Protein backbone atom coordinates (compact mmCIF):
# COMPACT_ATOMS: atom_id res chain seq x y z
CA UNK A 1 0.00 0.00 0.00
CA UNK A 2 1.24 3.46 -0.94
CA UNK A 3 0.24 6.21 1.45
CA UNK A 4 -1.11 9.34 -0.21
CA UNK A 5 -3.27 12.34 0.68
CA UNK A 6 -6.45 10.46 -0.25
CA UNK A 7 -5.93 7.48 2.06
CA UNK A 8 -3.70 8.96 4.78
CA UNK A 9 -6.51 9.25 7.33
CA UNK A 10 -8.36 6.04 6.43
CA UNK A 11 -8.73 3.25 8.98
CA UNK A 12 -7.31 0.75 6.49
CA UNK A 13 -4.13 2.78 6.20
CA UNK A 14 -3.93 3.16 9.97
CA UNK A 15 -4.11 -0.61 10.35
CA UNK A 16 -1.22 -1.02 7.94
CA UNK A 17 0.90 1.89 9.14
CA UNK A 18 1.50 3.16 12.64
CA UNK A 19 1.41 6.93 13.23
CA UNK A 20 2.05 9.34 16.08
CA UNK A 21 -1.67 10.06 16.36
CA UNK A 22 -2.66 6.42 16.74
CA UNK A 23 0.32 5.45 18.88
CA UNK A 24 -0.65 8.17 21.37
CA UNK A 25 -4.22 6.88 21.33
CA UNK A 26 -2.97 3.43 22.32
CA UNK A 27 -0.80 4.90 25.08
CA UNK A 28 -3.85 6.72 26.44
CA UNK A 29 -6.40 3.88 26.27
CA UNK A 30 -5.87 0.67 24.33
CA UNK A 31 -9.53 -0.32 24.47
CA UNK A 32 -10.77 2.95 23.04
CA UNK A 33 -8.05 3.00 20.37
CA UNK A 34 -8.93 -0.52 19.20
CA UNK A 35 -12.66 0.21 19.14
CA UNK A 36 -12.06 3.34 17.09
CA UNK A 37 -9.63 1.59 14.74
CA UNK A 38 -12.18 -1.16 14.15
CA UNK A 39 -14.88 1.40 13.39
CA UNK A 40 -16.90 0.45 16.47
CA UNK A 41 -16.46 3.76 18.28
CA UNK A 42 -16.40 7.38 17.18
CA UNK A 43 -14.81 9.63 19.81
CA UNK A 44 -16.75 12.66 20.90
CA UNK A 45 -14.81 15.74 20.00
CA UNK A 46 -15.36 19.41 19.51
CA UNK A 47 -16.27 19.69 15.80
CA UNK A 48 -15.80 23.44 15.91
CA UNK A 49 -12.23 23.14 17.19
CA UNK A 50 -11.46 20.49 14.56
CA UNK A 51 -12.82 22.60 11.71
CA UNK A 52 -10.99 25.70 12.93
CA UNK A 53 -7.72 23.77 13.05
CA UNK A 54 -8.22 22.28 9.59
CA UNK A 55 -9.25 25.66 8.18
CA UNK A 56 -6.01 27.15 9.52
CA UNK A 57 -3.89 24.30 8.15
CA UNK A 58 -5.43 24.44 4.70
CA UNK A 59 -4.79 28.19 4.50
CA UNK A 60 -1.07 27.77 5.11
CA UNK A 61 -0.83 24.71 2.86
CA UNK A 62 -1.87 26.43 -0.38
CA UNK A 63 -4.53 28.61 -1.95
CA UNK A 64 -5.91 25.57 -3.77
CA UNK A 65 -6.09 23.49 -0.58
CA UNK A 66 -7.86 26.31 1.25
CA UNK A 67 -10.41 26.83 -1.52
CA UNK A 68 -11.05 23.09 -1.60
CA UNK A 69 -11.56 23.01 2.17
CA UNK A 70 -13.99 25.94 2.05
CA UNK A 71 -15.96 24.28 -0.75
CA UNK A 72 -16.17 21.06 1.27
CA UNK A 73 -17.40 22.75 4.46
CA UNK A 74 -20.24 25.14 3.60
CA UNK A 75 -21.60 24.73 7.14
CA UNK A 76 -18.88 27.11 8.35
CA UNK A 77 -20.27 30.04 6.39
CA UNK A 78 -23.33 32.24 6.72
CA UNK A 79 -25.86 31.92 3.91
CA UNK A 80 -28.04 34.94 4.54
CA UNK A 81 -28.18 38.51 5.74
CA UNK A 82 -25.34 41.01 5.74
CA UNK A 83 -22.87 38.30 6.80
CA UNK A 84 -23.62 36.04 3.82
CA UNK A 85 -20.44 34.33 2.62
CA UNK A 86 -18.53 35.16 5.79
CA UNK A 87 -17.43 32.75 8.49
CA UNK A 88 -20.10 32.15 11.11
CA UNK A 89 -19.37 33.72 14.49
CA UNK A 90 -18.37 30.32 15.90
CA UNK A 91 -15.54 30.04 13.40
CA UNK A 92 -14.39 33.67 13.14
CA UNK A 93 -11.53 32.95 15.51
CA UNK A 94 -9.88 31.01 12.68
CA UNK A 95 -9.45 34.17 10.61
CA UNK A 96 -8.08 36.05 13.63
CA UNK A 97 -5.49 33.32 14.17
CA UNK A 98 -4.50 33.38 10.51
CA UNK A 99 -4.19 37.17 10.58
CA UNK A 100 -1.93 36.95 13.64
CA UNK A 101 0.48 34.59 11.89
CA UNK A 102 0.27 36.48 8.60
CA UNK A 103 1.19 39.75 10.31
CA UNK A 104 4.46 38.34 11.66
CA UNK A 105 7.06 38.55 8.90
CA UNK A 106 9.43 36.34 10.88
CA UNK A 107 6.87 33.53 10.95
CA UNK A 108 6.17 33.99 7.25
CA UNK A 109 9.87 33.88 6.45
CA UNK A 110 10.28 30.71 8.48
CA UNK A 111 7.21 28.90 7.15
CA UNK A 112 8.60 28.24 3.68
CA UNK A 113 9.21 24.87 2.03
CA UNK A 114 7.40 21.68 1.07
CA UNK A 115 3.90 21.56 2.54
CA UNK A 116 2.05 18.45 3.78
CA UNK A 117 4.79 16.03 2.70
CA UNK A 118 3.98 12.41 3.54
CA UNK A 119 6.87 10.20 4.67
CA UNK A 120 6.99 6.51 5.54
CA UNK A 121 9.65 4.41 7.23
CA UNK A 122 10.41 1.66 9.72
CA UNK A 123 10.57 2.22 13.46
CA UNK A 124 11.53 -0.82 15.53
CA UNK A 125 10.24 -3.28 12.94
CA UNK A 126 6.93 -1.50 12.31
CA UNK A 127 5.91 0.56 9.28
CA UNK A 128 5.17 4.18 10.20
CA UNK A 129 3.82 7.19 8.37
CA UNK A 130 3.85 10.91 9.04
CA UNK A 131 2.85 14.16 7.37
CA UNK A 132 5.01 17.26 7.73
CA UNK A 133 3.12 20.56 7.78
CA UNK A 134 6.15 22.40 6.39
CA UNK A 135 9.61 21.02 5.55
CA UNK A 136 12.38 23.53 4.92
CA UNK A 137 14.12 23.14 1.56
CA UNK A 138 17.51 22.72 3.26
CA UNK A 139 16.12 19.71 5.17
CA UNK A 140 17.55 21.23 8.36
CA UNK A 141 14.24 21.84 10.13
CA UNK A 142 10.53 21.20 9.88
CA UNK A 143 7.55 23.03 11.33
CA UNK A 144 4.22 21.92 12.70
CA UNK A 145 1.21 24.19 13.16
CA UNK A 146 -0.62 23.84 16.47
CA UNK A 147 -3.57 25.68 17.96
CA UNK A 148 -3.93 25.89 21.72
CA UNK A 149 -5.97 27.67 24.38
CA UNK A 150 -3.03 29.58 25.83
CA UNK A 151 0.73 29.38 25.42
CA UNK A 152 1.34 29.35 29.15
CA UNK A 153 -1.61 27.38 30.49
CA UNK A 154 -0.55 24.75 33.01
CA UNK A 155 -1.55 21.12 32.47
CA UNK A 156 -1.41 18.24 34.91
CA UNK A 157 -0.41 14.80 33.67
CA UNK A 158 -1.66 11.72 35.55
CA UNK A 159 0.77 10.60 38.22
CA UNK A 160 2.88 13.75 38.10
CA UNK A 161 3.01 16.42 40.79
CA UNK A 162 4.38 19.24 38.66
CA UNK A 163 2.43 21.15 35.99
CA UNK A 164 3.59 20.98 32.41
CA UNK A 165 3.10 22.76 29.08
CA UNK A 166 0.54 21.99 26.38
CA UNK A 167 3.37 20.61 24.22
CA UNK A 168 4.27 17.99 26.81
CA UNK A 169 0.67 17.36 27.88
CA UNK A 170 -0.31 16.36 24.34
CA UNK A 171 2.97 14.47 23.84
CA UNK A 172 3.85 16.49 20.76
CA UNK A 173 7.48 15.56 21.35
CA UNK A 174 6.57 12.00 20.33
CA UNK A 175 5.12 13.26 17.07
CA UNK A 176 8.22 15.36 16.40
CA UNK A 177 10.50 12.42 17.20
CA UNK A 178 8.68 10.24 14.67
CA UNK A 179 8.91 12.93 12.01
CA UNK A 180 12.61 13.46 12.63
CA UNK A 181 13.30 9.74 12.33
CA UNK A 182 11.26 9.46 9.12
CA UNK A 183 13.15 12.41 7.64
CA UNK A 184 16.44 10.75 8.57
CA UNK A 185 15.43 7.52 6.87
CA UNK A 186 14.30 9.32 3.72
CA UNK A 187 16.83 12.16 3.47
CA UNK A 188 19.72 11.33 5.79
CA UNK A 189 19.37 14.44 7.96
CA UNK A 190 18.10 14.92 11.51
CA UNK A 191 16.30 18.26 11.31
CA UNK A 192 15.34 20.48 14.21
CA UNK A 193 11.67 20.43 15.16
CA UNK A 194 9.72 23.67 15.52
CA UNK A 195 6.10 24.15 16.53
CA UNK A 196 4.33 27.29 15.37
CA UNK A 197 1.65 27.71 18.02
CA UNK A 198 -1.22 30.16 17.84
CA UNK A 199 -3.79 30.60 20.59
CA UNK A 200 -7.58 30.64 20.51
CA UNK A 201 -7.78 33.72 22.73
CA UNK A 202 -9.82 36.79 21.73
CA UNK A 203 -6.52 38.40 20.80
CA UNK A 204 -4.45 35.43 19.58
CA UNK A 205 -0.92 35.01 20.88
CA UNK A 206 1.68 33.02 19.00
CA UNK A 207 5.18 31.60 19.32
CA UNK A 208 7.74 29.45 17.57
CA UNK A 209 8.66 26.65 19.96
CA UNK A 210 11.57 24.28 19.54
CA UNK A 211 11.27 20.71 20.79
CA UNK A 212 14.72 19.92 22.26
CA UNK A 213 16.58 16.88 20.98
CA UNK A 214 16.63 15.24 24.40
CA UNK A 215 12.82 15.38 24.49
CA UNK A 216 12.62 13.64 21.12
CA UNK A 217 15.20 11.07 22.22
CA UNK A 218 13.08 10.28 25.28
CA UNK A 219 9.97 9.99 23.12
CA UNK A 220 11.72 7.63 20.71
CA UNK A 221 12.72 5.51 23.70
CA UNK A 222 9.07 5.45 24.78
CA UNK A 223 8.11 4.20 21.33
CA UNK A 224 10.81 1.54 21.50
CA UNK A 225 9.64 0.34 24.90
CA UNK A 226 5.95 0.26 23.98
CA UNK A 227 5.97 -0.92 20.36
CA UNK A 228 5.91 -4.68 20.96
CA UNK A 229 2.92 -4.44 23.30
CA UNK A 230 1.01 -1.92 21.17
CA UNK A 231 1.43 -4.07 18.06
CA UNK A 232 0.35 -7.17 19.98
CA UNK A 233 -2.83 -5.37 21.02
CA UNK A 234 -3.38 -4.02 17.52
CA UNK A 235 -3.03 -7.48 15.97
CA UNK A 236 -5.41 -9.06 18.48
CA UNK A 237 -2.78 -11.16 20.26
CA UNK A 238 -3.24 -9.29 23.54
CA UNK A 239 -6.49 -8.04 25.02
CA UNK A 240 -6.55 -4.23 25.12
CA UNK A 241 -6.29 -2.61 28.53
CA UNK A 242 -9.16 -0.36 29.62
CA UNK A 243 -8.29 2.95 31.23
CA UNK A 244 -11.77 3.18 32.84
CA UNK A 245 -11.64 6.97 32.54
CA UNK A 246 -12.28 7.81 28.88
CA UNK A 247 -15.69 8.16 27.22
CA UNK A 248 -15.44 4.73 25.61
CA UNK A 249 -14.69 2.99 28.89
CA UNK A 250 -17.50 4.84 30.64
CA UNK A 251 -19.94 4.02 27.83
CA UNK A 252 -19.09 0.30 27.93
CA UNK A 253 -18.50 -0.03 31.68
CA UNK A 254 -19.92 -2.98 33.61
CA UNK A 255 -19.76 -2.79 37.41
CA UNK A 256 -17.61 -5.64 38.67
CA UNK A 257 -17.25 -4.71 42.31
CA UNK A 258 -18.70 -2.50 45.03
CA UNK A 259 -16.48 0.34 46.15
CA UNK A 260 -16.31 2.35 49.35
CA UNK A 261 -17.14 6.03 49.44
CA UNK A 262 -13.56 6.52 50.65
CA UNK A 263 -12.28 5.31 47.26
CA UNK A 264 -14.08 7.93 45.20
CA UNK A 265 -11.45 10.64 45.63
CA UNK A 266 -7.80 9.70 45.54
Q: Going by C-beta distance under 8 Å and a sequence separation of 6 or more, which residues neighbour residue 216?
A: 173, 176, 177, 180, 193
Q: What percent of the chain has pLDDT above 90? A: 84
Does residue 24 carry a pLDDT above 80? yes
Does residue 183 carry a pLDDT above 80? yes
Please tell me the predicted confidence (pLDDT) of residue 85. Answer: 83
Q: What percent of the chain has pLDDT above 70? A: 100
Please tell me the predicted confidence (pLDDT) of residue 80. Answer: 84
Q: State the pairing for strand pair 126-135/114-123.
A: antiparallel
Please tell me the predicted confidence (pLDDT) of residue 33. Answer: 98
Please tell me the predicted confidence (pLDDT) of residue 259. Answer: 94
For 122-174, write each residue's pLDDT tens digit.
999 999 999 999 999 999 999 999 999 999 999 988 777 899 999 999 999 99
Residues 101, 147 contacting (CB under 8 angstroms)? no
3-state DSSP call for residue 225?
A: helix
For 52-111, write each residue's pLDDT tens digit.
999 999 999 999 999 999 999 998 998 888 888 888 887 888 999 999 999 999 999 999
Q: State which CATH number among 3.40.50.2000, 3.90.320.10, 1.20.120.1200, 3.20.20.70 fits the domain covering 11-44+104-263.
A: 3.90.320.10
pTM, 2 dp: 0.93
Please tell me the predicted confidence (pLDDT) of residue 150. Answer: 96
Residues 69, 51 contacting (CB under 8 angstroms)? no
> Bigger pLDDT: 26 or 256?
26
Q: How far apart, in whole angstroms, are the C-alpha atoms of residue 212 and residue 220?
A: 13
Among residues 244, 263, 227, which one has the least CA distance to residue 22? 227
> Looking at 20-29, 79-88, 137-146, 240-249, which range is the least confident one?
79-88
Q: How far apart, in whole angstroms, are the C-alpha atoms of residue 196 and residue 208?
A: 5
Quickly state the pLDDT bin for 262 (edges 50, 70, 90). Answer: very high
Does residue 207 carry a pLDDT above 90? yes
Please tell me the predicted confidence (pLDDT) of residue 89. Answer: 81
- Axis-axis angle for helices 172-187, 213-234 (nearest 10): 90
pLDDT (average), residues 203-216: 98
Please tell me the predicted confidence (pLDDT) of residue 42. Answer: 93
Amino acid sequence: MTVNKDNYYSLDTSFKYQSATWFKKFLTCEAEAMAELQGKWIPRGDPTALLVGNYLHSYFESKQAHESFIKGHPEMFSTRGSSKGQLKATYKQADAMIATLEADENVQRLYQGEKEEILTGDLFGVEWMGKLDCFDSTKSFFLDLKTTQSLHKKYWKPGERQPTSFVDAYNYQLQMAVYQELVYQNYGTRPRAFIIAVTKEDVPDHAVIEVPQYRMDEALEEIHDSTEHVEAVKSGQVRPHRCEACDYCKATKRVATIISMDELVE
